[in-house]
């Protein structure tokens, strides 16, 4: 995953993006992603949308592109220097979106969604570090690691340490009987 979006959220009624710090009884403690990093509380009434759970519609109704993958594509194509902003002209924004996701659904993805996407990418790329996705060569399966490791010879003459057996705990007979008997009922008070 290029950007870690697990704790990053957009909150209804509040501008910008926020990092979820800690849940409370009344809502969630949040920290803004801007340079000031101010903390506040988002009440339970606010709708909190995690960026990790947001996707972009494509022409295929059964398929969407997760926002993490969209951000990865933008980073691979433009890096941190994105040429468009949320104030760019509509035709520039639609051309940008067409370059990133050629088969995005133009009926269900509105211009406001594209502007939000650009704003969010600027906020995330300026705040969070980009983690390059691991290639197949870097991610080795345990079987492959074992196969690559040279076989070591074991000297059979050396004694092998045996595990010590656990000692049985002595059980107090009175404690067992007390646990088995039901508790006595309290006597009624005389008036």
Look at the pTM and tell me if it is higher than 0.85.
no
Cα(179)–Cα(176) distance, integer angstroms: 5
Question: For residue 20, is pLDDT > 50?
Answer: yes
Average pLDDT over residues 47-73: 89
If one compares 89 and 35, the residue with the highest pLDDT of the two is 89
Task: Please answer whether residues 18 and 50 qualify as being in contact, where contact means their C-beta atoms are separated by less than 8 angstroms.
Answer: no
Other beta carbons within 10 Å of 81: 6
Give me the phi and psi of 9, to 5 degrees please.
-140, 155
Task: Please answer whether residues 160 and 39 qualify as being in contact, where contact means their C-beta atoms are separated by less than 8 angstroms.
Answer: no
Tens-digit pLDDT profile for residues 124-166:
888 766 666 555 444 444 444 444 444 444 444 444 455 455 4
187 — pLDDT class (breaks 50, 70, 90): low
Question: For residue 111, is pLDDT > 80?
Answer: yes
Cα(37)–Cα(14) distance, integer angstroms: 14
Q: Report pLDDT for 185.
A: 61
Question: For residue 1, is pLDDT > 50?
Answer: no
């Amino acid at each position: 995953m290029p950007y870690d979006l697990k704790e990053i959220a957009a909150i209804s009624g509040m501008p910008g993006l926020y990092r979820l710090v800690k849940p409370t009884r009344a809502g969630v403690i949040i920290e803004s992603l801007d340079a000031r990093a101010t903390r506040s509380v988002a009440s339970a009434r606010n709708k909190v949308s995690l960026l990790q759970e947001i996707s972009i519609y494509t022409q295929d109704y059964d398929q969407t592109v997760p926002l993490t993958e969209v951000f990865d594509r933008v980073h691979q194509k433009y890096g941190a220097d994105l040429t468009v902003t949320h104030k760019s002209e509509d035709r520039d924004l639609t051309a940008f979106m067409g370059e990133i996701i050629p088969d995005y659904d133009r009926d269900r993805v509105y211009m406001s969604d594209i502007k939000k996407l650009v704003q969010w990418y600027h906020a995330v790329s300026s705040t969070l570090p980009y983690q390059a996705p691991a290639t197949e060569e870097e991610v080795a399966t345990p079987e492959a690691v074992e196969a690559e490791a040279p076989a070591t010879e074991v000297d059979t003459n050396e004694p092998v340490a045996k595990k010590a057996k656990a000692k049985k705990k002595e059980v107090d007979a009175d404690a067992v009987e007390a646990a088995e008997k039901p508790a006595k009922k309290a006597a009624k008070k005389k008036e």
